[in-house]
A and B are shown apart, each in its own frame.
Chain A
Amino acid sequence: MINRWWALLLAAAALAGAWLAEPLLTLAGVLGLLVGGAELLWTRHCLTGVEYERHLDATRAAWGDDVWLTVRVTNRKLLPLTWLQVEDQVPTRLTIERAAITQGRRESLAYLSGLFSMLPYEQVVRRYRVRCRQRGLFEFGPSRVVSGDLLARTSRSRADEKLDRLIVYPKVLDLVVAPPRSRRMVGRLAADRLIVTDPSRTVGVRRYQAGDPLRHVEWRASARSRELLVRVFEPTTDLALALFIDFLVPGFGTGNLYPDQLEFAISVTASLARWALDRRYRVGLVGNGTGQGPDGVRVPVGDGPEQLRRILEALALATPFAWQRTPISRLLASDAPGMPYETSVAVVTAKLDEDVLAAAADVARRRPVTVLHVRPPGSPEVRVAGLDVVPVPYEPGWHELERLPLAA
């Protein structure tokens, strides 16, 4: 505001006031010079001692959780600041309550904006509730701090490249679904079968019948009961479930980067994984989206304590964008044959075409296959002889669902 000529004029006025013993003239000149001096002082030192910190109270969250985002601005110097603007890049897909979010030049950019006035040695802490209603990997940052002179005529800025990441897992629903089948005759889990049983797992005795092998006679029980008894064995199996998810949904690529139908399919897949792991099945995941690692979306079949977290994380980080997308039918053909013998395959897809059906039918000759067809209401139901195709009704309001019954 006070350039060189103004400064000269005001200095001349102040000196004239001093010479003529006119305090008001000195005052007018000095006040003008002070405004100019303050502009210089604040412009140079406005960002000295200013710190900006951002903190998320969790790095991983389940769908529906609330995470607190804390923003801390500190002015560690004697100069107060009439304005300090903070722009922190935040994800557009998450809702941050009571925050001033401004849209960036690109649609994918949004900024958490804050305008502060700060006293000397003052710290301002603001807390925002982040509602995790979208799965994915979300980055907070980089941030930019801008301040300047008293009247905001000049400004200085400082960028901070630090990023905070938050992973939101997909929504997990309570499924009502028939258990998968396995071809393994002996395993760790009880099976609903009569013919082949596991001779290592005796569950009781019964009267001897003609044809029962003699090595199955329970001699001590027979002696006590004075009739010939044979051991009854439990039928067992070893169940594993390989989840194949197709990231290609109808309508993808028409501007909607995160189709809701795909989000629902991912949620169904996550729910299946938890359902199976709750029943001590081993679960694996294969998908044709883009994951964090070089293998894409891929979690080997397993049942360790960390398996659910691995699967949920892989689904959370997966995106439908890929330079060269492998069709799910080709993934089925390439990955399913190499899986353990007891593995049952579940294919979750919203785009059930001939190729997928043919690949599923091919796999079904060697292992049980269930196709979960995520379809909007009104779309035709697909029935294929010799293949389990389970319709999964997709409704736009599925986010409110807690339980999802699926027909076997």
Chain B
Amino acid sequence: MSQAGTSSNGYRWLRDGLVPGQNALLETLWVFAWANLILASNAGTASHRFPLPFLLALIAVPALAGRWLESRVRLPLLVRRVLLVALCVGLFLAFVKTQTLAGEPLRGWRWLRDAFLPWTSGEAASRLGLVAFGWLVACVLLVRGCWLALGRVRPESADRWFLGGLVAFVVLLLLIAGPGMTPASFRQDRAWLGPLLGAYFLLGLGWVGLVRQQHLEERAFRRRSDRLSLSWLVVFSAISGAMLAAGASVAALNGILGGVEALAIAAGEATWRALAAAWAWLTGLVQSLLGALPSSRPPRGGRPVAPATPPPAPLHLPAWHFPALPPFDVPVGFVLLLLLVALGGWVLLRYRRWDAGQAEDEERTSVWSWRLLWDGLRRLPGQVVAGLRRRRGARRQASRSAAALPGQPAPTSLRSLYRAVLRWSADRGQGRAPNQTPHEFEPDLASVISAELAGDLTSGYVRARYGGREPPDVEVERLRERWEEARDRQA
């Protein structure tokens, strides 16, 4: 059970309200797109759609209510769980009734039988696919909602959920990208995909950032934070908006890329024609030269002489293909969104004294000047070159050290692994001073590998070295793999 699952912690709106709520919204976005595609692909359900708010309710209501029950209501655990299950059952029945058996009267209660045993009724059996799909969607979303209610969102899991949703969008777009791959009844839904993807990206990035920020504040101040830093929100929104705008600009270049593609095809075709013409001319020349040579008499039988070279085969070149420019509403929409984000950021900056958590004696001023900007830009190429040189030097150093220790076995104990990490860290200028304890060195180590890995390595080493408790081999192997992954990433 997570810490959120104990009522002693109390209700915190950020941890128990905003984070699970935002998570629910995110997952609803890609589930909505997929549900629509699946419904549109089936001839029997092509005209049916599940509404986004209802899908959102299936995740968000159990998640938020469950969190509230767990952390605020002082009821026995069993009663809290029963309440949560009852809520889920109610939502499930409401969804199945309204979305799959809408035509049946509510008071007749026949719909209940049709909902659970649809094959027993001929009317419902005709909609078996829709009922089954409604079952699947409702169950999956409710289970996810209960999961959010009972567990706390960790930074690592937040990353995975966000990327998983992004991949869900990518796969969906790949499926419908080919010619003729989009079901006819889904064409109208395609217009929604752009805003859905944009919203998913903005909300998702903000959600992952929020979870990480909370984690960071807890680590920095060693206490739970229930404060949404306005300055963080402004900076993060501005960066996310800029990234979205950059992505949209690149996507808008698709037309230009299509033009480049057409130009490349035309150039290839011209080259091919020129080569073919040159080949024909050369073969003609060779033939005429060979014809001018004295030859033996033709055989008496009058056998026909085959020509020296066959005529070139006709070319089958790809047809000219000018892809259509993307519809203008997508880039314009993104630009408008960016403007809105910038406007919101400006308003927040203007009135940022509303931030209750900000220290009263804090002053924020701008140190911007043209000279500073120019200096920064002037140094940029040098920094890039120096970074590349450093990287190449590090690679060379790594290969040299690998060559210097041929056949060195991988560290098998945690202590030898820690020593290997220390040597590697020292090569990167973060050596451990003789008077530093492992725990004192941990922050320095965290600057070259991740903080989690540094913490795990250090605590494991201290336990093994001073507590005499060697971790199991599987654990050492896992730590070694994590470290090698971090090392390879930096190399």
Contacts and interface: CB of A to CB of B under 8 A. Distances in A.
Nearest to B231: A117
A391 B330 CA distance: 88
Contact of A30 (B213, B251, B367, B489): B251
Interface in B238-291: 238-239, 243-244, 246-248, 250-252, 254-255, 257-258, 261
Pick from A28, A74, A116, A120 the residue with the most CB of B within 10 Å. Answer: A28
B170 A122 contact: no
Contact of B220 (A23, A115, A150): A115
Contacts of A76: 367, 372, 376
A23 B252 contact: yes
Interface size class of B (residues with CB under 8 A): 35 or more
A123 B368 CA distance: 9
B149 interface: no
Contact of B244 (A31, A123, A150): A31
A32 interface: yes
B385 interface: no
Nearest to A80: B235
A24 B362 contact: no
Nearest to A26: B251
Interface of A: 1-3, 6, 9-10, 13-14, 16-32, 34-35, 38, 44-45, 48-49, 74, 76-78, 80-83, 85, 87, 98, 100, 102-103, 105, 113, 115-128, 144, 146, 150-157, 159
Contact of B209 (A44, A45, A151, A154): A151
A16 B177 contact: yes
Given A105-B439, A115-B220, A98 B366 contact: no
Given A35-B243, A117-B235, 6 more contacts: A38-B239, A82-B235, A87-B220, A125-B362, A150-B236, A155-B446
6 contacts: A9-B170, A13-B174, A27-B197, A32-B163, A32-B170, A150-B205
Contacts of B212: 151-153
Nearest to A29: B170
B359 A126 contact: yes
B195 to A, nearest CB: 10
Given A21-B258, A157-B447, A122 B178 contact: no
B239 A150 contact: yes
Given A22-B254, A23-B254, A126 B362 contact: yes
Nearest to A109: B440
B11 to A, nearest CB: 23
B471 interface: no
A134 B208 CA distance: 44
If over half of A's interface residues share one DSSP class (helix, strand or loop), that class is named, otherwise mixed; here it is mixed
Contact of B173 (A21, A24, A85, A87): A24
Interface in B434-482: 439-440, 443-444, 446-447, 450-451
Contacts of A25: 170, 173-174, 177
A124 B362 contact: yes
A115 B229 CA distance: 10
Contact of B201 (A31, A125, A159): A31
If over half of B's interface residues share one DSSP class (helix, strand or loop), that class is named, otherwise mixed; here it is helix
Contacts of B360: 98
Contact of B167 (A9, A27, A81, A85): A9
Interface in B297-342: 323-324, 326, 330
Contact of B216 (A6, A26, A85): A85
Contact of B243 (A13, A34, A144): A34
A85 B246 contact: no
A21 B443 CA distance: 48
B220 A82 contact: no
Instruction: Give me the 10 closest cross-chain CB pairs, A-B, nearest first.
Output: A21-B323, A121-B368, A27-B251, A157-B447, A117-B232, A23-B326, A127-B361, A25-B173, A23-B251, A117-B231
Given A6-B163, A153-B450, A44 B387 contact: yes
B279 to A, nearest CB: 31
B376 A77 contact: yes
Nearest to A31: B247
Contacts of A2: 163
Contacts of B387: 44
A34 B247 contact: yes
B204 to A, nearest CB: 10
B209 A150 contact: yes
A30 B252 CA distance: 11
Contacts, number: 204
A359 to B, nearest CB: 41
A19 B194 CA distance: 18
A100 B357 CA distance: 12
Given A26-B254, A30-B247, A82-B239, A152 B197 contact: no
A44 B155 CA distance: 21
Interface of B: 155, 159, 163, 166-167, 169-170, 173-174, 177-178, 193-194, 197-198, 201, 205, 208-209, 212-213, 215-217, 220-222, 229, 231-232, 234-236, 238-239, 243-244, 246-248, 250-252, 254-255, 257-258, 261, 323-324, 326, 330, 359-369, 372-373, 376, 383, 387, 439-440, 443-444, 446-447, 450-451, 489
A81 B212 CA distance: 14
Contacts of B450: 153-155
A398 B398 CA distance: 64
Given A21-B324, A102-B222, A155-B451, A121 B372 contact: yes
Given A17-B173, A153-B159, A24 B193 contact: yes
Contact of A22 (B159, B173, B443, B444): B173
B324 to A, nearest CB: 6
A49 B376 contact: yes
Pick from B170, B216, B450 the residue with the most CB of A within 10 Å. Answer: B170
B222 A103 contact: yes
B201 to A, nearest CB: 5
Nearest to B261: A19
Contacts of B247: 27, 30-31, 34
B411 to A, nearest CB: 23
A34 B242 CA distance: 10
B189 to A, nearest CB: 12
Contacts of B216: 83, 85, 115, 152
Contacts of B369: 121
B197 A24 contact: yes
Given A26-B251, A126-B359, A156 B447 contact: yes
Contacts of B255: 21
Contact of B246 (A3, A34, A98): A34
Contacts of A14: 250
A98 B361 contact: yes
A86 to B, nearest CB: 9
A156 B451 CA distance: 10
B431 to A, nearest CB: 13
B190 to A, nearest CB: 8
Contacts of A9: 167, 170
Contacts of A31: 166, 197, 201, 243-244, 247
